[in-house]
A and B are shown apart, each in its own frame.
Chain A
Amino acid sequence: MVDVSISNIRPDRAAVASQWQLIWWAFKRHKLAMAALVVTVAMYIVALVPGFFAINDPTAQNARATFHPPQKIHFFDTSNGIEFGPHYYPMRLTRDPNTLAAIYVEDTSKKVPVTFFGRGYTYSVLGLFETDIHLLASADNARPLFLFGADRLGRDVYSRVVQGAQVSLSIGLVGVCLSLLLGIVLGGISGYYGGRIDFVMQRVIDFVLSLPTIPIWLALAAALPQGWPATLQYMMITIILSFTGWAQLARVVRGRFLSLRTEEFVAAARLDGVPESRIIFRHMLPSFSSHVIASVTLAVPAMILAETSLSFLGLGLQPPTISWGVLLREAQNIRSIATAPWLFMPGLAVVIAVMALNLLGDGLRDAADPYNK
C-alpha cells in the first residue's frame, strides 16, 4: 500500500520526512512549477529593489526622446578582435522632411559602454538607505540607454516596468493577505462552528461569489477621491480588491475545516485532552496550511490582473504612481501603440508574472497533499 505519493525517495528518508519535506519532494518533480518558482522569486527580488535593476530614473522626462525605440546591447566589441565589452549605439533624432515625424537613426560611430554595477541615478532601497549603484549603468548620461524604448514623454519604459513591478507585485500579495485574513477568520468560524452560523456564512459567501467583481470594484474605486496621496490610494485599492477576494479563500478554509472536524485524528486529540486552541493550531492548521498556501498563490495573479485592469481604466492607481496598469494606460490609444508598440512591454511583464504565479500555484496545489493519494 503506497499512501505517500513519494515513491522514488528512499524509504528510510521518507520515514522521517515531515509534511513540508514530502511536499517539497513532490513539488520538485514538477519541472514547470520549479521554473515558475525561479521566475517568481526573481521577480519579487526585482520588486524589492527596483532601483538597482533600473537603468534610468523612471520618472525623468526627456523631450528629445519621445517614442524613442528600443536599443540593443552589444556584448562583444569587434573593433579589434573579439573581446567582452558591452556597449550600445546611441540614436540620433532626425525628422522626416515631409511629415516632420520623428525618426531615430542608430549612430554606429559612437559607442557608449555599459558597465555592470556602475553608478547612475540615486535611489532609495526600501526607504532604508540611498545608493546609486545599478546592475547596468550607461557611461553617458546625456545619451541614455532605452532597452524597451521610451514613452510619449521620453521616459524609459524598461526602468518604468522594473519600477512598476514593486507596486503591481506587492499589491497582489498585500491584497491576498488581507483577503486571507478575512477568509480565514470568516471561513474558519463558519467551518469550525458549523450549524446556523455556517448556513448564514455560506449564503453570504455564495452571494459575494455570484457578484461580478469589476463593476463593483469600479464603483468602489470611483468613490475614492482623486487627490489622495499615493500610499493611501494604494491601501484603498488593495482593500477594495480584497473586498470580494476573501470569499473564495473563505470557502477553501471552510471546506478544509469541515472535513478536518470529522477526521478521526482530531477526535483522538480531543480525547487526549488537547485544548481547543492546540487542536486548531497544532492539528488542524498544519493540515490545511499547504492547501491555503496553494490557494493564496493562485489568488495573487488574479489580484495582479485586477489591479492592472482597474488602473488601466483609470479608476485604480493614479500617476505619478508607477504600476503596470498605470503604464498600460499609455497604450490605451491605438495611435500611440501603432507608433510605439513597445508600450506593450508592461503587458508582457503582467503576462509573465501572472503565468509564473499560476504555474507555481498549480504545482503547489498538486503537491499540497502528500498523504491520501
Chain B
Amino acid sequence: MLKFIVMRLLWMIPSLFAVSFLAFVLIQLPPGDFVTTYIATLASSNEVVDQNTAAQLRERFGLDQPMLVQYLKWIWGIVTSGDFGISFEWQQPVSGLIWERMALTLVLAVASLLATWAIALPIGVYSAVKKYSIGDYAFTAFTFFGLSIPSFLLALVLMYVAAVEFGQDVGGLFSPEYETASWSIGKMLDLLAHLWLPVAILAVSSTASLIRVMRANMLDELPKPYVTTARAKGLSEFRLLTKYPLRIALNPFISTIAWLLPNLISGSVVVAIVLNLPTAAPLLLQSLMAQDMYLAGAFVLLICALTLIGSLISDILLALVDPRIRLE
C-alpha cells in the first residue's frame, strides 16, 4: 500500500513537468510574441515603435533567448520561489493575479463535484435496482438531455429566463457590494448565494454521465453470486444492497474523480465566461487573446496540475477503500 502511494506520488513528478512543458509550448505556439501584439496595439493608437525599442522590450522580457532557456528560467522561478513571471498586459507579477481566481475555480469545481455525486449516486442506484421502471426511464431521459445540452447553452437559457421572467441578472459570484471587499462572513454567504447557479449548470451534464456510470456499475454487480449469497443468508433487500453491491460499485465510482474533475473544470471554463464569474477562466481567455504568455501559462499549468492532483487523490482513495488493491 505504502509502495503504491509512493510510486503514485513519484509518478506525479514527470507528469507535472510534462504539464508545465505543455503549458509553455502552448503559450509559445502563436506566431509572433507579446511584443508584436504590444506594437500592434500601440500602432492602432498611432504610436510607432521602432525596431530598437522592440528589441529592448524583447531583451527585458527575455524573449530573445531560445525557448528551452525561457522554459527553464520560468519553471525554475516557479519551483524555487513561486514566481510565475510577469503579466505583460497587467504589468504586475502573475502570482498576484492568479491565486484568488484559482481558489474560486477550485471552490466551484469541488462544489460541483460534491453536488454531482450527491445527485448521481442515489439516482444511479435507484435506476439500476428499479431497472426499466417508470422512474428509471424518467432519469434516463434526463441523463440523455443532460448529456446533450452544452453547459454554456444551459447557462444562457437560465440567464435568459432569469432576465426575462424575474428581471434579475444572475451573472458573477458576488453581489456588487462584495466584489472588491475583503473576505468576511458576509462575503462567504454572498458567495454561497451566487454559487448555486453555476454549480447547478455544471452538475447537470456531469450528473448525467455519472448516473449512467453508477447505473452500469450497479447492474454489473447485482447479478453477481455474492449478492445471491447475501440473499440466501436472510438479509433484507435494502441491507444487502447497501452493504454488498453498492459498496463494491462505489469503487469504480471513486475512480470517476479522475475524469470527472477535468470535465468539470473544462465545463466551468465555458460557464464561467458566459456567467462572467471571477474564476480563472475569463482571465485565461483574455490573456490568451492578448498573448500574455506568462499569465496564460500559469493558468493552464495550474488548471492541469489541479486535475492531475484530482486523479492522484482518486487513485489513493481507491486503494484505501479496495482491499484488492491495498493488499496486492
Touching chains A and B, CB distance < 8 Å:
yes
Is A220 an interface residue when CB atoms closer than 8 A count as contact? Answer: yes
CB distance from B250 to the nearest CB of A (A): 21
- Binding-face segment, B23-31, B88-96, B196-204: B23-31
Q: A216-B26, A354-B147, A359-B144 are in contact. Are A210 and B270 (CB under 8 A)?
A: no
Indicate if the CB atoms of B284 and A215 lie closer than 8 Å. Answer: yes
Q: 19 A-B pairs, CB-CB below 8 angstroms?
A: A212-B266, A216-B26, A219-B23, A219-B29, A219-B296, A223-B30, A309-B150, A309-B152, A313-B273, A328-B153, A328-B156, A332-B156, A332-B274, A350-B153, A352-B148, A354-B147, A354-B150, A355-B147, A358-B148
Chain B residues in 8 Å Cβ range of A203: 11
CB distance from B167 to the nearest CB of A (A): 10
User: For chain A residues 215-257, which have a beta carbon within 8 Å of chain B?
Assistant: 215-216, 218-220, 222-223, 225
Contacts of B267 in A (CB 8 A): 214
Do A341 and B144 touch across chains, with their CB atoms under 8 A apart?
no
Given contacts A212-B307, A305-B150, contact A220 B26 (CB under 8 A): yes
- Are B266 and A331 closer than 8 Å at their CB atoms? no
Chain A 307-338, CB-CB to B under 8 Å as 1, else 0, gives: 01100110100000000000010011010011
B308: chain A residues at CB < 8 Å are 210
State in angstroms the CA–CA spacing of A355 and B147 once bound together: 7
- 6 closest cross-chain pairs (CB), A and B: A223-B29, A214-B266, A355-B148, A222-B288, A219-B26, A354-B148
| In the complex, chain A residues 51-77 whose Cβ is within 8 Å of any chain B Cβ | none
Q: What are the interface flags for A123-154 relative to B under an 8 Å C-beta threshold, 1 for contact and 0 otherwise? A: 00000000000000000000000000000000
Stretch in contact with the other chain, from B180-188, B241-249, B298-306: B298-306
| Chain A residues positioned under 8 Å from B270 (CB to CB) | 214, 309, 312-313
Q: Are B284 and A218 in contact (CB under 8 A)?
A: yes
Give complex CA distance A313, B284 in Å: 12
Taking a contact as CB atoms closer than 8 A, the residue among B157, B164, B289, B307 that contacts A222 in the complex is B289
Q: A203-B11, A214-B266 are in contact. Are A338 and B289 (CB under 8 A)?
A: no
Known A-B contacts A222-B288, A309-B150, A350-B153; the reply to A210 vs B160 at CB < 8 A is no
Contact digits for B237-270, partner A, Cβ 8 Å, 1 yes 0 no: 0000000000000000000001101110111011
Q: How many residues in A have their beta carbons less than 8 Å from beta carbons of B? A: 40
Task: Say which residue of B26, B163, B258, B296 sits within 8 Å of A210 (CB atoms).
Answer: B258
In the complex, whether A207 has a CB less than 8 A from a CB of chain B is yes
Q: In the complex, what residues of B have CB within 8 A of residue A220's CB?
A: 26, 29
CB-contact partner of A347 in B153, B169, B261, B299, under 8 A: B153
Q: Does B159 contact A (CB under 8 A)?
A: yes
Q: Flag if A308 contacts B150 (CB, 8 Å).
A: yes
Give Cα A215 to B296, complex, Å.
10
Q: Which of A218, A338, A351 is the one whose CB lies under 8 Å from B160?
A: A338
B145 to A, closest residue via Cβ? A355
Give the distance in Å from the alpha carbon of A215 to the alpha carbon of B302 in the complex. Answer: 11
A352 to B144, CA, bound (A): 10
Those of B104-157 within 8 Å (CB) of chain A: 144-145, 147-153, 156-157
B307 shortest CB reach to chain A, Å: 5
**Docked-complex contact A218 and B148, CB < 8 angstroms:** no
Asked if A341 and B258 sit within 8 Å, CB to CB, the answer is: no
A344 sits at the interface (CB 8 A): yes
> Chain B 163-200 against A: per-residue CB contact (8 Å), 1 yes, 0 no?
11000010000000000000000000000000000000
Contact present for B29 and A215 (CB under 8 Å): no
- Interface readout for B276-316 with A: 1 if CB under 8 Å, 0 if not? 00000100110011010000100110011011101100000
Chain A residue numbers with a CB within 8 Å of B261 are 212
- A212 touches which of B29, B156, B265 (Cβ 8 Å): B265
- On whether A337 and B160 interact (CB within 8 A), knowing A210-B258, A218-B285, the answer reads yes
User: Which residues of B lie under 8 Å from residue A338 when comparing CB positions?
Assistant: 160, 163-164
In the complex, what residues of A have CB within 8 A of residue B288's CB? 218-219, 222, 315
Decide: A350 and B150 in contact? CB cutoff 8 A: yes
Q: Contacts A210-B311, A213-B262, A355-B145 hold; do A223 and B11 have CB atoms under 8 A apart?
A: no
A358, B300: Cβ atoms closer than 8 Å: no
Kindly provide the distance from the CB of A59 to the nearest chain B CB, expressed in whole angstroms.
Answer: 24
Query: Which residues in B have their C-beta under 8 angstroms from that of A313?
Result: 270, 273, 285
Within the complex, what minimum Cβ distance (angstroms) separates A233 from chain B? 14
> Does residue A301 face the partner (Cβ distance < 8 Å to B)?
yes
B49 lies within 8 A of chain A by Cβ:
no
Contact (Cβ within 8 A) A209 B262: yes
Given contacts A212-B304, A215-B299, contact A344 B147 (CB under 8 A): no
Nearest CB on B from A363, distance (A): 12
**Given A312-B270, A313-B273, A338-B164, are A211 and B152 also a contact pair (CB < 8 Å)?**
no
Closest-CB distance, B209 to chain A (whole angstroms)? 10
| B208 nearest in chain A by CB position | A358
The CA-CA distance from A233 to B325 in the complex, in Å, is 47
Contacting residues of chain B (206-261) with chain A, CB-CB under 8 angstroms: 258-259, 261
Rounded to whole angstroms, the CA-CA distance of A212 and B300 in the bound complex is: 9
| A326 CB to nearest B CB, Å | 14
Complex Cα spacing A218 to B261, Å: 18
Q: Are A344 and B156 in contact (CB under 8 A)?
A: yes
Other contacts beyond A210-B308, A212-B306, A347-B153: 14, CB < 8 A: A207-B15, A207-B18, A209-B262, A210-B311, A211-B22, A214-B269, A308-B150, A312-B152, A313-B270, A334-B160, A338-B160, A344-B157, A347-B150, A350-B150
Q: Given the complex, which residues of B lie within 8 Å of A215, measured CB to CB?
A: 265-266, 269, 281, 284, 299-300, 303-304
Interface residue B19 (Cβ < 8 Å from any Cβ of A) = yes
Query: Who on chain A is nearest to B303 by CB?
Result: A215
Given A215-B299, A341-B160: A210 touches B150 (CB 8 Å cut-off): no
Alpha-carbon distance between A359 and B148 when the two chains are bound, in angstroms? 10
Chain A residues with CB under 8 Å of B262's CB are 209-213
| Inter-subunit contact A351/B27 (CB<8 Å) | no
Q: Which residues of A contact B23 (CB under 8 A)?
A: 219
A332 to B274, CA, bound (A): 8
